[in-house]
């Protein structure tokens, strides 16, 4: 036996809307409208109220030579029968399905917000018997299936269309605590719980019969990153991605880049945390990552909830209001809150340093004009005397800049692959001349253009002696490499595998606004562009509209040679490609091999 629940779905986000034709209204003999604004000095009715009038009367009014400026209508659920003369410009027409769902909301303001944002209203209209849902109460989640859809009250003269409800058959329920009680028309108690429909949060009214059989609760697991097909079906469009709010773009872009299509840092979502930090981890997993991956949308209030939690922990008193740097936010989350093991281990002068991000610094004599990220990282390591102590599972690189507004380079080429073989302090390497096992490294040869424009130069002993017998290199000071045991006697070093990392996201900044590019598939053109504040609805009391759209043009430019890219004028580049090459702030790389072990 299972618990049976009836609840009304509260809705929150926006969806594409087209006003329905009159044919959709014929079943009720009425036409329906929602009041979207009202005169400030009139206390009643409120914006968000639903009104109706007879269909034949409406048609008659609309057939007049001069369209009416006002229509006389009745307020839904108002028993006095009073009619109101309402400005036609202050209303928008509803179809029957929208009326049914909106009627279930008891609050006018929330009904109006639901209608304006529309995203989840459309999702709720697709719910049918058999849809799997999940109910949450007191932090526990219970799976269920919709077994009933329809009204729980009868239609009346004052309310021709009652609210639409859904009956849920819950599974594995042992007990549910009372969060809120109301009297339900059937005489049962209703309990206010939270519900997830494919991980999208809804507010619900529920009544249920408890099952006395001993069942175990069904724990939810993380939703895997979106596949190429899912990105194209669920993630692209308006009101997609993470909704920005109040200078949150740094956080929106960082979270979208890290979790939408990659699982390289999923371990931080499940690692053991102190009790005081567990709510932040739950918010990150249940309210942000899972909804993003399952539905392609995260409402701005969940990001604000995370910001409020961080501020409450005392890390910054301006987390809810001011713009931050992505690396500051990531450091707080990964280091101070979740105590994630450092992603990066650097070797310098025999000592190991640990970090979560790496800021690329260059000396004054770098001579780079249109650099790749590979070149920038090599130059930075060379000038600082650094090597990697091990291959990182995730490498977060900050591009060289003088603050947010001053760039060192007009354009930077994001390397699709980052070869870190020669950046390791230990490990087998190949002689760059003959390809055999390298045993010598020469830091002084780094900028010698005879071999290659830049990059670390390693040689076998024979090639090193020949190279450094040249008069121009007699002053060089080659050093021996540390070679793991077992490699010295290998007869076929050509089979040595190079350690490479793949680019999976790029954060960009222009005029203090962060956006991101994400590589979501194996093909060259599989790139998407995300802006959490691409558009806005309303003014001070409005909301931002996030947008995700494909940008295959990025792949076209990344295939070009540096000389071809050098001749591309930024203003003439297609689509949003200019922002990738000219505004890169942070490049994210992952090792598909190492992420399996960490």
SS3 22: helix
Strand partners of residue 83: 74
- List of residues 6+ apart from 269 with CB closer than 8 A: 222, 281, 284, 285, 289
Burial class of residue 476 (count of CB atoms within 10 Å of its CB; 0-12, 13-18, 19+): middle
Please, are residues 11 and 201 in contact by the beta-carbon 8 Å criterion? no
Q: How far apart are CA 397 and CA 388, in angstroms?
A: 14
In Å, how far are 50, 135, 154, 202, 481 from 9, measured between CA atoms? Answer: 17, 12, 18, 6, 65
SS3 27: helix
- Residues designated catalytic: 249, 513
**DSSP letters of 520-545?**
-SSSTT-EEEEEEEEEEESSTT-EEE
Q: How far apart are CA 276 and CA 531, in angstroms?
A: 32
Residue 120: how many other CB atoms lie within 10 Å: 25
In Å, how far are 213, 245, 249, 372, 514 from 324, measured between CA atoms? Answer: 51, 13, 9, 27, 10
CA angle at 411 for the pair 408 and 417, rounded to the nearest 5°: 110
In Å, how far are 265, 401, 479 from 359, measured between CA atoms? Answer: 20, 9, 27
Strand partners of residue 372: 413
Structure tokens given for 36 = 């979207």
Torsion angles phi and psi, residue 61, rounded to 5: -65, -40
Strand partners of residue 145: 132, 169
CA end-to-end span of the chain, whole Å?
42
Beta strands in 240-384 (DSSP E): 241-242, 297-298, 344-348, 351-355, 358-359
């Amino acid at each position: 036996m299972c618990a049976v629940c009836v609840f009304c779905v509260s809705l929150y986000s926006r969806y594409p809307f087209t006003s329905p034709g009159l044919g959709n209204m014929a079943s009720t003999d009425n036409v329906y409208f929602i009041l979207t604004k009202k005169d400030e000095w009139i206390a009643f009715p409120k914006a968000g109220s639903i009104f109706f009038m007879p269909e034949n009367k409406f048609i008659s009014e609309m057939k007049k030579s001069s369209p009416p400026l006002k229509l006389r209508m009745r307020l839904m659920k108002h028993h006095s029968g009073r009619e109101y003369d309402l400005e036609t410009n202050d209303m928008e027409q509803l179809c029957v399905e929208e009326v049914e769902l909106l009627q279930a909301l008891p609050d006018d303001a929330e009904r109006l917000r639901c209608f304006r944002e529309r995203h989840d209203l459309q999702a709720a209209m697709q719910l049918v018997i058999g849809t799997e849902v999940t109910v949450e109460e007191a932090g526990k989640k219970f799976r269920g299936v919709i077994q009933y859809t329809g009204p729980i009250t009868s239609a009346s003269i004052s309310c021709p269309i009652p609210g639409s409800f859904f009956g849920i058959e819950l599974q594995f329920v042992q007990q549910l605590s009372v969060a809120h009680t109301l009297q339900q028309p059937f005489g049962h108690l209703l309990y206010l719980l939270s519900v997830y429909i494919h991980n999208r949060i809804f507010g619900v009214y529920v009544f249920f019969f408890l099952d006395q059989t001993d069942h175990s609760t069904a724990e939810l697991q993380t939703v895997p990153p979106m596949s190429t097909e899912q990105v194209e079906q669920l993630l692209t469009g308006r009101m997609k991605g993470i909704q920005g709010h109040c200078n949150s773009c740094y956080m929106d872009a960082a979270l979208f880049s890290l979790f939408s299509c990659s699982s390289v840092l999923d371990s931080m979502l499940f690692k053991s945390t102190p009790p005081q930090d567990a709510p932040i981890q739950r918010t990150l997993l249940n309210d942000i990552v899972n909804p993003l991956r399952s539905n392609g949308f995260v409402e701005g209030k969940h990001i604000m909830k995370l910001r409020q939690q961080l501020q409450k922990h005392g890390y910054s008193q301006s987390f809810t209001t001011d713009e931050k740097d992505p690396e500051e936010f990531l450091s707080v989350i990964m280091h101070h809150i979740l105590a994630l093991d450092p992603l990066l281990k650097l070797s310098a002068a025999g000592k190991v340093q640990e970090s979560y991000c790496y800021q690329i610094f260059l000396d004054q004599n770098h001579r780079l004009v249109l650099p790749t990220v590979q070149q920038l990282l090599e130059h930075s390591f060379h000038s600082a005397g650094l090597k990697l102590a091990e291959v990182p599972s995730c490498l977060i690189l900050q591009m060289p800049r003088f603050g947010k507004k001053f760039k060192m380079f007009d354009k930077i080429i994001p390397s699709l692959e980052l070869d870190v073989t020669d950046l390791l302090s230990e490990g087998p390497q190949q002689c760059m001349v003959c390809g055999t096992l390298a045993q010598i490294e020469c830091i002084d040869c780094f900028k010698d253009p005879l071999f290659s424009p830049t990059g670390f130069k390693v040689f076998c002993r024979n090639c090193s002696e020949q190279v450094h017998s040249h008069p121009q290199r007699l002053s060089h000071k080659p050093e021996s490499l540390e070679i793991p045991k077992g490699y010295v006697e290998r007869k076929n070093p050509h089979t040595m595998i190079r350690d490479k990392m793949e680019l999976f996201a790029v954060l960009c900044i222009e005029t203090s606004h962060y956006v991101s590019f994400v590589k979501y598939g194996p093909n060259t053109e599989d790139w998407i562009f995300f802006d959490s504040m691409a558009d806005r609805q309303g003014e001070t009391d409005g909301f931002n509209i996030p947008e995700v759209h494909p940008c295959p043009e990025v792949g076209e430019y990344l295939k070009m040679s540096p000389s071809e890219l050098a001749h591309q004028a930024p203003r003439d580049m297609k689509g949003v490609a200019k922002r990738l090459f000219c505004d890169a702030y942070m490049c994210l790389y992952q090792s598909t091999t190492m992420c399996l072990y960490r």
